[in-house]
Amino acid sequence: MKLEFHGHDERYTVEQSLLNLFPGELPVYEPVRRTPEENWAIVSWHEDEDGRRGHALVELCWQGKAVPFSQGMSLDCTPYEQEGRRRYAIGSAFFRAYQIITGGQPPWGMLTGVRPDKLVTEALAAGKTPAAAQELLEKVYYVTSRRAALALETGTAAFHASKALGPKDIAVYIGIPFCPTRCAYCSFVSQSVEKSFAFVEPYVEALAAEIEAGGRMVQEAGLRVRAVYMGGGTPTTLTAEQLHRLLRVFEAAFGGTLAACDEITVEAGRPDTITAEKLKVLKDHGVHRISVNPQSMEEHVLRAIGRRHSPGDIEAAMELAAKCGFPHVNMDMIAGLPEDTAEGFGRSLDCCLQFGTDNVTVHTLALKKGSRILLEGLTIPGPEAVGEMLGYAEPALRRAGYAPYYLYRQKYMSGSFENIGWTRSGGACLYNIYIMSELCSILSFGAGGSTKMVDSSRRIIQRRFNPKYPKEYMERPEKTLSNLADFAAFYSVR
């Protein structure tokens, strides 16, 4: 779609709206000729002479039909707030022009960000009622009533979690970027152990060194760890001895900062990596929660996504987890996988519910660059079928006693839906709430680690990134040490 701007340069706002509303349509910055043979948008912004009011005008042409839509906005506020209002007015005008032309109603309305329920959490923190918070989503951002109700539940969970956090409370992430094989939908920084086995042991040594340095920094800064999450990749790709070594190093390095830690979670993920010996190591080190992630219980779907385990292996892994007595177990499902159907997804979910796990995360397939799904053109269910899958999941989970407690969205999701974590009473994973709602700093260790420094009182978020790939990570310890120094400096000025 050709785009032409006047009076502003809100490229990000318009591009995200374009990608959300017209999947597959890419922005082209060329002069618009206003002909019905092309798809185009002219997006203008101007302000009154006194600077107290602005006006967005979007002229949109799609498949031969052109419409204008204007959106006024008060600018009687601070310069920072004026920027937000300008972005909203332009995004809203673009969305309303889209609706007039197409009659479409995306489930999340004009929202394009990862955390739509953050608006709810902020509204509740500002003293608004739950009804007012939901109305904000529906009336201001055009979210459907069903999605607004979901966001109200998850945003409320985040609001309550935030009240238990202090200014020096943090969470910790430990990344293990290895898997038995690479799944068809995956674009994460993870490597097949078959191809990178030689990296695993030196990676564990480098990771242990970073954790030791990080633990010293956290203790010197007087920080308190409230949640720990070991993810990947698949952490249980490591041997029992390697898991024991890392957890022992972590406990020694962080010491008393773990006194108030509410949970330690480890993604056991792939059932073909789970053994009784590994689970015993995790349990002996006080791990509260593991994830056993089938994604599907349909044999042919598992084959299509490149998994080497069977539904029977998932059942065996869940039996081992039950015998070890972990307080909490999560299972992941993905709606929209290659070769799956609405009926097959329903069977998979029903099977997972029979295990009695207290957490179920229902993801919507995100089509990611570099994934085998896109590279090989695998056949996937369409948006309507994905909608049926999610439409089955919500009432089934609610009947079984689950409630949504966190959600997030990604780019290029089938049907523009969402990922939702469901839990029975008392089973919420606090780390998931903290990171998705940006309630506290996340200190990340390992290759591809993304450290996020959060100061809610000053509305400041800063990020630092570790080297992306294991080999680069092992060769550049100075980068991780620099990130740790920045983390310490962030807290020294608070």
- 23 exposure class (CB count in 10 Å sphere: 0-12, 13-18, 19+): middle
pLDDT for 222 equals 96
Query: Dihedrals φ, ψ of 62, to 5°?
Result: -140, 120
Question: Pairing between strand 169-176 and 441-445?
Answer: parallel
Q: Is 143 left (phi over 0), alpha (psi -120 to 50) or beta?
A: beta
Residue indicated by tokens 């798809």: 39
Query: Average pLDDT in the 244-250 region?
Result: 98
pLDDT for 413 equals 85
| Pairwise CA distance, residues 229 & 432, whole Å | 9
The answer to whether the beta carbons of residues 63 and 35 sit under 8 Å apart is no
Element (H, E) at 210: helix 193-221
Residue indicated by tokens 């506290």: 440
Write the CA distances from 401 to 83, 93, 319, 331, 396, integer angstroms.
Answer: 43, 41, 22, 15, 9
Query: Average pLDDT in the 261-286 region?
Result: 95
Write the CA distances from 464 to 178, 286, 479, integer angstroms.
Answer: 22, 29, 10
b/e per residue, 250-278, with b = 16+ CB within 10 A?
beebbeebbeebebbbbbbbbbbbbeeeb
The answer to whether the beta carbons of residues 172 and 163 sit under 8 Å apart is no
Token representation of residue 144:
């459907």
Token representation of residue 56:
């967005």
- What single letter denotes the amino acid at residue 447? A
Query: Average pLDDT in the 292-305 region?
Result: 94
| Pairwise CA distance, residues 342 & 388, whole Å | 6
pLDDT for 311 equals 93
Number of Cβ within 10 Å of residue 382's Cβ equals 10
Collect all residues with Cβ–Cβ distance below 8 Å to 146 and sequence separation of at least 6: 107
Token representation of residue 320:
């081992």
| Number of H-type helices and E-type strands within the chain | 16, 17
Query: Average pLDDT in the 53-57 region?
Result: 98
Q: Indicate the length of the chain as a whole number.
A: 494
pLDDT for 313 equals 93
Query: Average pLDDT in the 244-266 region?
Result: 97
| Pairwise CA distance, residues 143 & 67, whole Å | 22
The answer to whether the beta carbons of residues 173 and 226 sit under 8 Å apart is no
pLDDT confidence tier of residue 340, bands split at 50, 70 and 90: very high
| Pairwise CA distance, residues 229 & 444, whole Å | 9
Collect all residues with Cβ–Cβ distance below 8 Å to 307 and sequence separation of at least 6: 181, 183, 270, 272, 295
Please name which of 403, 395, 396 lies closest in space to residue 424, comparing C-alpha atoms: 403
Collect all residues with Cβ–Cβ distance below 8 Å to 379 and sequence separation of at least 6: 338, 339
| Pairwise CA distance, residues 84 & 96, whole Å | 18
pLDDT confidence tier of residue 494, bands split at 50, 70 and 90: low
pLDDT for 186 equals 77
Token representation of residue 427:
């089973």
Torsion sign (Cα): 239, 449, 261, 328:
negative
Query: Average pLDDT in the 270-275 region?
Result: 92
pLDDT over 80 at 291, yes or no? yes
| Pairwise CA distance, residues 161 & 322, whole Å | 28
Element (H, E) at 314: helix 311-324
The answer to whether the beta carbons of residues 91 and 97 sit under 8 Å apart is no
| Pairwise CA distance, residues 245 & 213, whole Å | 16
pLDDT for 373 equals 84
Query: Dihedrals φ, ψ of 118, to 5°?
Result: -65, -30
Collect all residues with Cβ–Cβ distance below 8 Å to 324 and sequence separation of at least 6: 276, 279, 280, 282, 283
Per DSSP, the three-state class of 288 is coil
The answer to whether the beta carbons of residues 439 and 158 sit under 8 Å apart is yes
pTM: 0.92
The answer to whether the beta carbons of residues 2 and 28 sit under 8 Å apart is yes
- Beta bridge pairs of residue 265: 229, 289
Q: Give the percent of the chain with pLDDT over 70.
A: 98
pLDDT confidence tier of residue 196, bands split at 50, 70 and 90: low
